[in-house]
């Protein structure tokens, strides 16, 4: 059987594909999608066939026929709450993806993986790794203030867990023995409190709470939001898009591109500077709140994701939280490496995928 590992990650504006042999990366490409390309689709799920064909063309271009793939590992979608780990893609998961909890880009990777795994009479094992809906919250973290509403765990699990493990190793320790706060900063922002190997509290970075991000509003003044909802200015769908997709930095500045915003700041745009610094301010506040979750016992603070390349943003956050713990920056993400490592361990029998039920 081939030991090639196909890794897939579908994000808001890109599709990332890599192929590994054992732990060696043979191929990597990130196909970026323009606003014009994405505008032809009414929903994220409508992008499925288009993105699937992109993946297949990339495999063909790289010379990787399906019979050379031993396993497919992808970032998990927004499915039911579950413990962290590696899960076999099965019929129960496919059924849930047919009526997803959220119309989210990460779902597409799972759908593409299962279709490719069955093409041409193949039966390629396919797994998800650390899906966004991992829920390890302490019970106390679920209380919202209204009994009808429970706080939910939706985060960049794969990214957060992988950099937390890297931080522990860099300090000669095990992930299960440390307390660390991780802020993943991309199109969405999630800040998690990792206590001895579990993410015991985190903001819902999809359409819930926490810092605003390039595309999402984050926490909002509740009474004013209710008033806006009943103002007649928005339909339900329009207001949801205002909160998630057209909120945050884009709503204020008309763009979510950090490079464009930083250039505007350099050219003296005071509004751009204020809004960009406000995002950093809110991230720092969320990090500080997670310090309280960990009762001040914080071994480190890790900043990661695409926005961690922004020196301006990182410096603003660091100045506000450095009194809590050491701040370490892992810009970008190493999710493909983590997917490949998980796929490799499944192929080798070192990890038994969990059953999704």
pLDDT 10s digits, 297-307:
999 999 999 99
CA max distance for the chain: 61
Report which DSSP code applies to 31.
E
Mean pLDDT of all residues in 152-156: 94
Element (H, E) at 300: strand 300-305
Mean pLDDT of all residues in 16-40: 92
Nearby residues of 23 by Cβ (< 8 Å), 6 or more positions away:
340, 341, 344
Q: What integer pLDDT is reported at residue 121 of this predicted model?
A: 86
Kind of pairing between the strands at 69-75 and 189-195: unpaired
Cα four-point dihedral sign 221, 214, 41, 102: negative
Distance (Å, whole) CA 247 – CA 240: 9
Residue 12 pLDDT class (50, 70, 90 cuts): confident
Secondary structure (3-state) at 247? coil
Residue 92 has pLDDT above 80, yes or no: yes
168: left (phi over 0), alpha (psi -120 to 50) or beta: alpha
Is this model's pTM higher than 0.85 or not?
A: yes
Contact 349, 10 (CB under 8 A): no
CA angle, residues 46, 47, 48, in degrees to nearest 5: 95
Report which DSSP code applies to 148.
T
Q: What integer pLDDT is reported at residue 100 of this predicted model?
A: 67
Residue 168 to residues 49, 113, 165, 289, 328, Cα–Cα distance (Å)? 40, 31, 5, 21, 11
The closest of 160, 153, 179, 159 to 168, measured between CA atoms, is 179
Nearby residues of 218 by Cβ (< 8 Å), 6 or more positions away:
189, 203, 209, 210, 211, 212, 247, 248, 282
Q: What integer pLDDT is reported at residue 77 of this predicted model?
A: 83
Distance (Å, whole) CA 316 – CA 266: 16
Q: What integer pLDDT is reported at residue 333 of this predicted model?
A: 81
Q: What integer pLDDT is reported at residue 23 of this predicted model?
A: 82
Q: What integer pLDDT is reported at residue 350 of this predicted model?
A: 95
């Amino acid at each position: 059987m081939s030991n090639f590992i196909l890794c897939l990650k579908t994000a808001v504006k890109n599709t990332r594909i890599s192929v590994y042999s054992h732990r060696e990366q043979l191929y990597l490409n990130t196909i970026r999608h323009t606003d014009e390309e994405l505008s032809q689709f009414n929903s994220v799920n409508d992008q499925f066939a288009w993105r699937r064909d992109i993946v297949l063309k990339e495999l063909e271009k790289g010379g990787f026929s399906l019979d050379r793939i031993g396993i497919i590992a992808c970032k998990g979608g927004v499915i039911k709450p579950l413990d962290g780990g590696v899960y076999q893609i099965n019929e129960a998961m496919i059924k849930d993806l047919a009526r997803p909890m959220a119309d989210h880009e990460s779902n597409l990777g799972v759908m593409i993986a299962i279709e490719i795994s069955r093409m041409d009479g193949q039966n390629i094992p396919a797994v998800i790794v650390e899906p966004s809906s991992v829920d390890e919250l302490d019970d106390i973290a679920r209380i919202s203030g209204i009994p009808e509403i429970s706080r939910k765990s939706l985060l960049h699990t794969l990214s957060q867990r992988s950099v937390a493990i890297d931080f522990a190793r860099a300090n000669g320790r095990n992930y299960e023995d440390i307390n660390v706060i991780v802020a993943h900063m991309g199109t969405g922002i999630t800040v998690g409190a990792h206590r001895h190997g579990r993410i015991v509290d985190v903001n819902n970075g999809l359409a819930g709470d926490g810092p605003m991000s390039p595309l999402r509003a984050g926490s909002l003044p509740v009474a004013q939001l209710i008033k806006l909802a009943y103002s007649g200015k928005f339909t339900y769908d329009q207001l949801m898009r205002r909160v998630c997709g057209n909120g945050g930095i884009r709503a204020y500045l008309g763009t979510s591109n950090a490079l464009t915003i930083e250039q505007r700041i350099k050219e003296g745009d005071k509004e751009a500077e204020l809004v960009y610094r406000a995002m950093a301010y809110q991230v720092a506040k969320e990090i500080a709140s997670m310090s309280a979750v960990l009762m001040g016992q914080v071994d480190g603070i890790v900043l990661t994701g695409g926005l961690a390349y922004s020196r301006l943003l990182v410096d603003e956050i660091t100045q506000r939280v450095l009194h809590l713990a050491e701040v370490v920056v892992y810009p970008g993400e190493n999710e493909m490496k983590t997917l490949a490592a998980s796929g490799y361990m499944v192929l080798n029998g070192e990890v038994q995928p969990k059953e999704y039920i």
